[in-house]
Amino acid sequence: MMKRIILYGIVLAFTIQVNAKTSFRTERLKTIAGMVKLNVPDNLEKHLTIDSLGRYKNKPVKLKTNSFGDVSHIGYKLFNGRTDGTHDPMMPFFDFIERYFLELDLELDGKKPAERIFLDKVECIRGNIAMRHKVTDRTGFSIKHVGRRAYTIQWVLDKDTLELFVPADCQLILGANAVELETIFERDLKRVVPSAFDCDWAEEDVSLSDDGLSVANPGSYLSDEIKSDLYLQKKEGKWALITDAEHPIESIKNILLTGCFTRDIAMALTIDRYGYRKTSLSITLQQFVEYCRLDGCVLYVGIKTHTADNVTATIFALNNELGYNHVLAVNFPTGILSGRQNSITGTSYVYIPLQNVTEDFFMQKMKEK
């Protein structure tokens, strides 16, 4: 696990030219802004990219904001204009490389680059880490990704080649340890405004499952009992999600996977945190689903128990690119489907790293719990 950033005396000597109203997604980004002496504008817009806010080591420094207007990325401009839609799911990795190369130059945690990459388990397969200084946004590169495990990225530098192996460690890539990631989850979950979900489906996206039901978005994770399948029925010539009391299991699965329902569903959420701590929140199910979507996760649901009055289920939100899960165990009163103003209860475990965990091990731990 990444340790909290320890700021040495030399770091404290920097003047942080950041407006007090500026918000940062992580403490690490705030520290970087101060060390590079970025004059960050106040009231930044959402989804903003500034390709050259300043310079460090004679290289342009890039800044980005997220859907909340927080500064979500600071790094060298290395990939601007070089990525396209096919790389969108891996954008956090490109941001990581830009930030990491800047961090190495800053010696952010007081360690030299060679020591830092050793501790982070980043390996130079070809070349050496000093060759990073030759990389610009015009340098050709290729990338390979093994889901939930690792990346390799290669740059051709004249007659030389720099190739790095980077583990798909969400704490490393996002620049925050387990404790801070849980804090980010709690903070941002409360700020999420769910977007409208289209409950209609095109004819070509619908197929029949093994049990004869009409489904869309088929898929499974960890076992055949944990699926992303959405159940549909035809209404007025259109395929729509089933969300009624006549089909409680299918309806609850649909709602948990999409948030699609006639109203927001209140949820009393407990976040089970690192160090045997717990936090309680009052949110909606739709906020959780939307957070996972914004986080780049694909959702899967497994039904644990069901009675006439209640269904217990587990949602797995998988981020394949960064190798982690969010897990939400819920109790869902079936009366909600009939219009009753019940709320659901849930317990979440967030940013569970998967890069060094086999699926058999993960399932065994679930059984033990």
Mean pLDDT on 176-201: 89
pLDDT of residue 152: 97
**What are the φ and ψ backbone dihedral angles of 343, each rounded to 5 degrees?**
-115, 165
- Please report, rounded to a whole number, the percentage of residues in the chain having pLDDT higher than 90: 72
Mean pLDDT on 252-280: 95
Q: In the structure, what pLDDT confidence band is assigned to residue 364 with cuts at 50, 70 and 90? A: low
pLDDT of residue 20: 56
Give DSSP secondary structure letters for 293-316: HHTT-EEEEEEEEE-SSEEEEEEE
Range of lowest pLDDT (178-187, 243-252, 352-361): 352-361
67-123: pLDDT as tens digits: 999 999 999 999 975 444 444 778 999 999 999 999 999 999 899 999 999 999 999
Q: In the structure, what pLDDT confidence band is assigned to residue 4 with cuts at 50, 70 and 90? A: very low
For residue 201, give the amino acid letter. W
Euclidean distance between CA atoms 265 and 284, whole angstroms:
5
Q: Is residue 165 pLDDT above 80, yes or no?
A: yes
DSSP 8-class letter at 308: S
8-30: pLDDT as tens digits: 332 333 333 445 578 999 999 99
Cα dihedral 200, 192, 355, 106, rounded to 10, equals 140
**Cα→Cα distances 79→62, 91, 98, 104, 301, Å:** 10, 10, 8, 18, 36
Q: Is residue 369 pLDDT above 90, yes or no?
A: no
pLDDT of residue 12: 30
pLDDT of residue 10: 29
The interaxial angle of helices 248-258 and 285-294, nearest 10 deg, is 50
Let me know how long the chain is: 369
For residue 23, give the amino acid letter. S
The domain ranges of the chain are: 9-174, 178-368
